[in-house]
Amino acid sequence: MPSNIQIQLDKRPVGEARLSDFKLVVSDTPPLQDGQVLVHHHYLSLDPYMRGRMNDAKSYAVPQALGQTMGGGTVGEVIESRNANYAVGSQVLGMGGWQQYSVVDGNQPGALRKVDTRQVPLSAYLGAVGMPGVTAWYGLVKIIEPKPGQTMVVSAATGAVGSAFAALSKARGCRTVGLAGGPDKCRYGLEELGFDACVDYKQHSSAASLGKALSAQCPDGIDGYFENVGGQVLDAALPLMNAFGRIAVCGMIAGYDGAPLPLAAPALILISRLRLQGFIVSEHREVWPAALEELGRLVAAGQLRPRESVAQGIEAAPEAFLGLLKGRNFGKQLVKLV
């Protein structure tokens, strides 16, 4: 069995996460038992939710255990098998974590899923045709419930979730506006992702200034807003929401370092009779087949062309993750392990 390089959580961050919070270890992969498979990971997904799990605090997910391999989505290849359902060479999606290899019980429901790479690249199953894509689908379709001609807005617009949101929203005939950080990302949003407009939030130091710029791109107000960021960005969008608007809250990355995120004008929720709903996509497995089918078609047809930021080698995962939290990635952040 091969030796395995893993990244563990060594200590809990105080405020901003640092490289010193992680530890690299090398261990031997254990021999397989009946029903198990050995997966060689090709790509590891890095996602903002991982920062919240590093804290030992009340949340929707169990905190990441100290001294254990960081959790995370992976795609890879079965290289040894004692399970008749998974032949050697099968390409699979799972939660293998921040490591090169994982030993998985192939009989455990949901532990592994075979993927088809004939039209969809392997890495896309961690992004557009994976959890981020389904996140965008659920927030848009099930919470926002768009209608043709309405205005949709998404923050973190050029990331893995935002890019899928753009394709899904445009496919439903909506004016689609993004909020992204920097002129390059906004240009990418317009030219490659198909946004009708993209506002650079880094050009604005206050919610009032950002709101004015966003208002100029949403002359008819906002009917549906998909929130990934919170803080000043949410304060800018909330006054622009039309009556009976819908807000899907997926993430609050502005507060992942532990700082409180007070809402400047919560009375607007009542005044505009808004529906504001948080959600965790893993709790809605019933929608995944329909969402993945649509997302796969969009990727195969070239209507969803997400960009990827790829770090090389498991050793690069911590630095790439910290960069993700600061918005240094361009599109979906992955770590290539082969």
**Residues in CB range of 245: below 8 A, 6 or more apart:** 221, 222, 223, 224, 225, 272, 274, 275
Region 285-305: mean pLDDT is: 93
Looking at per-residue confidence, does 98 or 256 come out higher?
98
What six digits make up the tokens of 223?
């009917």
pLDDT for res 62: 85
131-282, what's its fold?
Answer: Rossmann fold (3.40.50)
Per 3-state DSSP, the chain is made up of helix, strand and coil in percentages (nearest 5) of 35, 25, 40
Q: Mean pLDDT over all residues of the chain?
A: 95
C-alpha 201, offset from chain centre = 19
Whose CA is closest to 94, among 127, 129, 48, 126? Answer: 126
At 299-323, the pLDDT tens digits run 989 899 889 999 999 999 999 999 9
- Whole-model pTM: value is 0.90
pLDDT for res 6: 98
Q: What percent of the chain has pLDDT over 90?
A: 88
pLDDT for res 164: 96
Gap between the Cα atoms of 83 and 87, Å rounded: 8
pLDDT for res 253: 85
Evaluate if residue 256 carries a pLDDT over 90: no
What six digits make up the tokens of 85?
């359902």
Whose CA is closest to 232, among 198, 208, 212, 197? Answer: 208
Question: 306 to each of 50, 59, 250, how far by Cα in Å?
Answer: 21, 29, 19
3-127+307-336, what's its fold?
Answer: Quinone Oxidoreductase; Chain A, domain 1 (3.90.180)
Q: How confident is the model at residue 41 (pLDDT cuts 50, 70, 90)?
A: very high
**Residues in CB range of 236: below 8 A, 6 or more apart:** 204, 207, 208, 210, 211, 214
Question: Would you say how long the chain is, in residues?
Answer: 338
pLDDT for res 105: 97
Evaluate if residue 107 carries a pLDDT over 90: yes
At 176-222, the pLDDT tens digits run 999 999 999 999 999 999 999 999 999 999 999 999 999 999 999 99
**Domain boundaries along the sequence of the chain:** 3-127+307-336, 131-282
At 229-252, the pLDDT tens digits run 999 999 999 999 999 999 999 988
Phi, then psi, of 210 in degrees rounded to 5 = -65, -40
